[in-house]
Structure 1
Amino acid sequence: MPSAAETISPSRASQQVATSDPGALRSHPHDEIVVPSRPVIERLPVNVVEPVDVCVSSSGQIFVADRRQQAVFRIDPDGEVHLALAGIEQLKRVSCDRAGRIYVLAGQAGDQRLLEITQAGYVATFGSYGFEVVGVQLQDPDGVILAARDGRIYQQLRGGEPELLANVAEPIRDICAATSGATVVLTESGKCQLVARGNLVRQLATVPAASDRLFVLPSGQLAALVAPLDSRPMIVESVTSSEGNSQDTTKPFAQLPQGTAAVAFDRLGNLCLANPELRAVTRVTNHFEVPCPHCSKLIPMRFSTEPPQPAAQSSGSF
């Protein structure tokens, strides 16, 4: 049995679960496999100078916005790197929707643009804004929610103009979609507020005031990227669901390298980090899918350094 300090390859780990029991071919479980191993940490093969944001598409492509190089890079699942967009000054955010379109927020306060990149590589301007946009929430199929720093929240449909959706009482730092698709904003004081048209506001959670990015974990929990001045950045997780009742407590989810500016998760729950201080984009992989040795169905597998739970004692008699 490998120790927790040993990193095991997914293919080797999947071989460990094979069984010689002929009965398993007829009836066998597909429970998650937990392997005692550290996560695989790798620096992705993209030459970045000032990566300020990162997102992961549903197909596993990673997009990185590099402010200094005025470019957006695409990293395919096989590791091949492509230039998705070039020559764009003041890059701020990059997002991707379920249809494979990429949205890039660029410009200075009072003169910003939201650009759209189609799967075919065409670039169009989705909107231009005379206010400072701090975050964008994508809405399927053809709309966005824009969070202005001054507390105003706008909705914009393709081909239309921004329409005021709601106001919150303090400056906004970020915006994200709850698991239901509802809009959640992060305020300057750390309040995570669910907003709707007509200034309907409900507080979901409170995170540290040093938080500047808001997102939803693969588990459905609200989380924030906290970057305090006197310690390393970290991800904190709200103890309440993004749809649940408000609770003002959080717990640590992951501590990050100094200088981490943005994070994103793939569909399995693996973490990508953009770090302008290290000039690097890093991926931390501890979730996999491996084929069942009997029927080839994909089974979730997770690397964990936590000690295994003792097996439950059977109460049956023989």
Structure 2
Amino acid sequence: MAASGLAAPALAADAFPSRPIRLVVPFPAGGGTDLVARTLGEGMGRELGQPLIIDNKPGGGTVIGSDTVAKSPPDGYTLLLTTSALPINATLIRKLPYDTVRDFSPLALVCRGPNVLVSRPDSRYKTIADVIREAKARPGKLTYGSSGNGTAVHLAGELFKSLAGIDITHVPYRGAGPAMTDLLGGQIDFVFGTPGGTGKFVDSGKMRAIAITSAQRSAVFKGVPTIAETVPGYEADVWYALYAPGNTPPDLLARLNAAVRKSADAPEFRKRVEAEGLSVAVNTPQEMTAFERAEEGRWHKVIVDGHITVD
């Protein structure tokens, strides 16, 4: 009987998963995060032998969906696919219903890519040096739009201001669409946006990509320089990552991570994310934990130094 009792946990672990897995996306259906989740989920389902059911839970700046996962059992059957919103909210939102470190187990970075600073094609601002020179000559007069206060693209702009030592005025919008409309209409000077949101305008010639926010140049935005080439140390990628509830056993994290890696390596996944200006960047749970802590520290400084609040 003793031998049987000792074998039970191993048999249970070996049987995982024995039912569908819920993949919570804290954004509405149809957006970039949803696309990554559905494409990745299809491949992971094949690898694990069980479907991943996408559960869109938008609201609260991703807090509602994140809290759902934070309060789920650590059994591998509920996962979160989110963005840098998770480490950003750790500082940005004063009363979170969860603890970002305690209540989540980092599982894997999935993919990442640059945000983009765009202007109108007839704008006299053609380079980052042009922007910095004008901003220093007219503090607070230049304006940049984003998809909302406290979003990753807003903070990309605030990090640029901080490292470049300039004052430009942020204009928050309720989503990327209105920001793009006002840029095209001449109401604002620039927009910090995602590759998916800006790509079609740049490709059609309706907007000019001044620079990208990644540390290295991107094959998607050929010939477009990085902000870091003018402002050393600048980096503000968009990224997508998977998390499990806190205290999820290491063997389950390893099993899930292996499925993520195989799914993300598939040609169909690479093709889909590359079309969004992203590249596959899967790491281990240990590496993701270190990455998460570094991101939380980076955005904590930007939020505190910039006196940024959302409530």
Q: TM-score, normalised by structure 2?
A: 0.26
Whose relative contact order is higher, 1 or 2, with alpha carbons under 8 Å and at least 6 apart?
2
Larger relative helix fraction: 2
Higher-Rg member (1/2)? 1
Larger relative strand fraction: 1
